[in-house]
Amino acid sequence: MIRVEILKPTRASLKPFVMLPFQLYRDDPNWVPPLIGQQLRSLCRASDGPRRFFLVYDGEQPVARVMAGINERLNERLGRKYGYLGLFESAQRPDYARSALDAACAYLKEEGMERVIGPAAVGMDEFSKGLLVKGFDGPPVLFNPYNPSYYADYFEKCGFTKHRDYLAYFMRMDEFDQHALEEIVPRAKKRFGFRVEHVQLTKENEERVLRNVARILRESFPAEWEWNVPVYGDLVRQSKNLRRFYRSELAVMAYAGNRPIGLVFAVPDYNQVLKKMKGRILPIGWAKYMLNKGKIHGARCSMQFVVPEYQHKGVNTAMMYEAYQGAKQIGIQWVEGSTVDETSIPSITNTEKLASHLYRVYRQYEKSLMEP
């Protein structure tokens, strides 16, 4: 008998919710287990609005899950009443998936929402969104989702339609034409009066760096993007999670005088290490982390921003050139640029100029909640 339980946002209640994917993906070589303790802490923290966790059982066996919530801050910015779905997982039976999705939609409708979008990220973690619909041939890069191909079919059978695609591009380091930029970059810097520096993040300069990042995002953030413009407080909270992955060789910022005007941020693909840890730091997960973190050979570039006045002036190219030099120093062999909103034509154009090719697509779905 199928039933749906609503879980309290506590570690004990959410433990079977977090552990379900370990059962579903136990034979999938591409799945990367999350750190169990870290995910439990994240889900128990306050969010930008109400949310609810649903776990579907068949008898006594958990078989599907989903989180539903309302990002009140984002709704206020965009002037709408949308709910979101996240953390969807299901065993390979359509009725399991439908039970989870129907319960989530009913909750959001009761809360007065008019439409639902998902899968979406949890809280400020906008690095991860959508269902994987293209590129099932390998494990995901750090922070990106992974799922079986049949999930998209389950969403569509439950009345969801495509909302928006997010794109991932792959570039081999040995295909990056650095020689073509060795003359272009210095000329652009001199002509338009900017410089590029690697970002050294220390306790002493953390506040200044994060305020500079917040300023760049505020001034360059596209109005149509469907996520919150991160403010300084958001970045402080997020930096605690990202610090463990941070490498100054992969983070660069552009300045015009003392004004920050651009940012490129990448992190090593620690999924190559997390996969070996099997979701646990103890008893030997930490040892595996220490032994393997120096062997990472890929990276994910998740942020490229330039303020409007300095766009089309070589700033992005100069930052990517500097980041490339840093990546070589630490043995990076390939870089994934992700995820790029399919509506952001300038971002797509800049990414495709870097000898990269589209290799994965993540899709968000939507459904009206106004229908009877």
> Which pLDDT score, from 0 to 100, does residue 350 have?
78
> Which pLDDT score, from 0 to 100, does residue 282 have?
60
User: Would you call 302 helix, strand, or coil by DSSP?
Assistant: strand
Residues 172 and 259: their CA atoms lie apart, in Å, by 32
Could you state, in order of their start, the residue ranges of all structural domains in the chain? 2-165, 177-354
Residues 211 and 216: their CA atoms lie apart, in Å, by 9
Contact call for residues 350 and 163 (beta carbons, < 8 A): no
Digit-coded pLDDT (tens) for 316-362: 999 999 999 999 999 999 999 988 899 888 788 878 877 789 999 99
Q: Which two tokens stand for residue 315?
A: 């700033």
Per-residue confidence band for 264, with pLDDT thresholds at 50, 70 and 90 = very high
Q: What is the pTM of this model?
A: 0.92
For the CA atoms of the chain, what is the radius of gyration? 21
Q: What is the CB-side half-sphere exposure of residue 161 using CA atoms within 13 A?
A: 4
- Say what the alpha-carbon torsion angle 229, 233, 236, 242 is, to the nearest 10 degrees: -30
Enumerate residues 6+ apart whose C-beta is below 8 A from 235: 210, 213, 214
In the CATH scheme, what is the homologous superfamily, with its name and number, of domain 2-165?
Gcn5-related N-acetyltransferase (GNAT) (3.40.630.30)
Q: How far is CA 238 from CA 124, 125, 235, in A?
A: 7, 8, 5
Domains 2-165 and 177-354 are alike in CATH topology: yes
Per-residue confidence band for 78, with pLDDT thresholds at 50, 70 and 90 = confident
Highest mean pLDDT, choosing among 146-150, 175-179, 282-286: 146-150
Enumerate residues 6+ apart whose C-beta is below 8 A from 281: 35, 37, 289
pLDDT at 125 over 60: no
Q: Does domain 177-354 have CATH number 3.40.630.30?
A: yes
DSSP-assigned letter for residue 355? S
